[in-house]
A and B are shown apart, each in its own frame.
Chain A
Amino acid sequence: MDSMNSSQSNPILRTENLSVQFGALMAVGQLDFQIYPGELFGLIGPNGAGKTTVFNAITSTVPLSHGDIYFKGKSLRSLKPHQVVTRGIVRMFQSATIFPKIPVMIHIMNGLSCRTKSSVWNSIIRPPSFHKEEQTSRQRARELIQFTALEGFEDHAAESLSWAQQKRLMLATALATEPRLILLDEPFAGMNADEIGEMIALIQAIRQDGMTVFVIDHNMKVMQRICDRILVLNFGQKLTEGLPEEVAQDSRVIEAYLGGD
């Protein structure tokens, strides 16, 4: 997405003075940025820069000390984590955070649960709508299994999958929530070159479906390759923001990553 398109549409996500403080430590301070619909937006920074805290704040996992976050123009401030997902934001964690004992098919169906309606009474009485919803959920889970190349593992416990497969499983489960904005926290961590290639292909496919992607990663080369714009965070403050090639050549970014003399 070029900057002209960005300026023409309303941001899907906007932060205003986003600040998160833990005691005396200002983890993220007065951060302003916007992400536009369909954009692939990157957040980079050295370890401890506050990147994951930004995701925690967006998903209401940590409370905001100051400022606000707006998704499709509405504040997320008073929402609980599960309500943020219902609004259309989902997150993939830094490590392969999974439900270890749950089989792959059910794992993905769990992601669908915030979009389905069957109550506890329906599960006991089992009216036709219950069976229809279960059938639809299974069908959607099968599609996501196919999309993330996990065919043949439907009945395998999540913990039995390889690291890269677990990451793909989490991506499939996150997609099952039908998000409009997906937050990917270091999706390439611990992967070899082939696996990174597969993950990039998946992210690009998601984006082609019209989803907005917000990604954190350390791998500058990969981020330059896939992101439309990149924001650089250092000590919880915005260092710079711009096109990948501009950011890569910014002396402050080079200094933050490599250290100054």
Chain B
Amino acid sequence: MHPRFIIYFLIGLAVVLVPVFVQSNYWIYMFTMVGIFMVLVSSLDLAYGHTGLVSLAHAAFFGIGAYSSAILQLKLAVPILPALLLGTLITAIIAAAIGWPMLRIRGPYFVLGTLAIGIAIEIIIHNWDGLTGGVSLSGIPMFPEVTIFGTTFDLSSKRFFYYLVLAVLVVTQILIRRIVNSRTGRTFASIRENEDLAAALGMNVSGYKLISFVAASTIAAFMGGIYANYMGAIEPEIAGSHMSFNLLVMIVVGGTRSIAGAVIGPLLLWFVPEFLEAAQMYRPLFFGAILIIVIIFMPTGIAGKLRSLHPRMAKWIP
């Protein structure tokens, strides 16, 4: 076996064994949150990195997914799994309805349009008290205990959610790799590189932009549903443009179109600042400094820079 794959295997094994060796629930929570951000960054990368759609509404779909699933459970007593799937479906429909007119505008106008949507969704959630709970929606049920062959599994535990998020992350990566390495992915890349030429070669540009936008939003919505059950309470800020901006910065810093980039961004911009608790008040400064350094010295992100150091490195950085 190639040494590269042995290293990947060992990293994978270490990730799987984290809950076995880490006893602190706080650290398990931290790793789970990093996993959630990795899913969000990877899904945003499908729209931004692969298709060239700079969306500042990505967190809005994460939020709509979280709220839809939670509201279905709380108001209509829908069981967790169907609520999660229904919430994701509702978000996909909303993403398609928003994306259809939005994706006809280009460049900075599209970015500003998505920013407006992000702000609007946050305000709607905040002000629709009767449905969303206003400043906070709490009491979202945890996953129940399940007994299989006489063994009881506590699905509300932090460890279960760690593995659940890890599974979603792995499936997300597989889905994205499969889409990207296909006719659909090639069309996304063509649109990113030269939209007019793509149309001149017979590609349905607006149709494929919509597919990319809805697929990215759907993954975010599914993650949002799990997040709602994980946290037990959610706030409108999770759907805000500030959150979307953070996700975008994570991609730019980590590197687009790269699994490593989706890992580096959240680790550096969420995990490290959380770890440096004493420096919480300097968090925006840390964020800004990293962003400036990366934009100036590593325009393709940290993963892109590492890949460019040597042709062999390019093979080692997935």
Interface residue B187 (Cβ < 8 Å from any Cβ of A): yes
Interface residue A124 (Cβ < 8 Å from any Cβ of B): yes
**Which of B182, B185, B202 is in CB contact (< 8 Å) with A114?**
B202
Q: Report A140 CB to chain B, min CB distance, Å.
A: 13
Q: Report B314 CB to chain A, min CB distance, Å.
A: 12
Interface residue A74 (Cβ < 8 Å from any Cβ of B): no
Interface residue B199 (Cβ < 8 Å from any Cβ of A): yes
Interface size on B, residues (CB 8 A): 26
Docked CA distance A113–B202 (Å): 8
With a cutoff of 8 Å between Cβ atoms, the chain B residues found around residue A119 in the complex are: 184
Q: Report A49 CB to chain B, min CB distance, Å.
A: 22
Q: A82-B205, A93-B197, A173-B201 are in contact. Are A124 and B187 (CB under 8 A)?
A: no
Interface residue A177 (Cβ < 8 Å from any Cβ of B): yes
Docked CA distance A172–B200 (Å): 14
Interface size class of A (residues with CB under 8 A): 35 or more
Contact call B201/A118, Cβ cutoff below 8 A = no
Which of B64-72, B188-196, B237-245, B260-268 faces chain A? B188-196
With a cutoff of 8 Å between Cβ atoms, the chain A residues found around residue B25 in the complex are: none
Interface residue A101 (Cβ < 8 Å from any Cβ of B): yes
Docked CA distance A106–B181 (Å): 10
Q: Report B316 CB to chain A, min CB distance, Å.
A: 18
Q: Report B243 CB to chain A, min CB distance, Å.
A: 27
Contact call A93/B200, Cβ cutoff below 8 A = yes
Contact call A82/B204, Cβ cutoff below 8 A = yes
With a cutoff of 8 Å between Cβ atoms, the chain B residues found around residue A99 in the complex are: 189-190, 193-194, 197-198
Interface residue A81 (Cβ < 8 Å from any Cβ of B): yes
With a cutoff of 8 Å between Cβ atoms, the chain A residues found around residue B203 in the complex are: 82, 110, 113-114
**Which of B184, B194, B198, B202 is in CB contact (< 8 Å) with A118?**
B184
Contact call B200/A59, Cβ cutoff below 8 A = yes
Enumerate chain B interface residues (CB-CB to A < 8 A). 175, 178-179, 181-187, 189-190, 193-194, 196-205, 211, 215
Nearest 9 CB-CB pairings of A with B: A114-B202, A85-B202, A123-B182, A99-B193, A81-B199, A118-B183, A120-B184, A82-B202, A110-B190
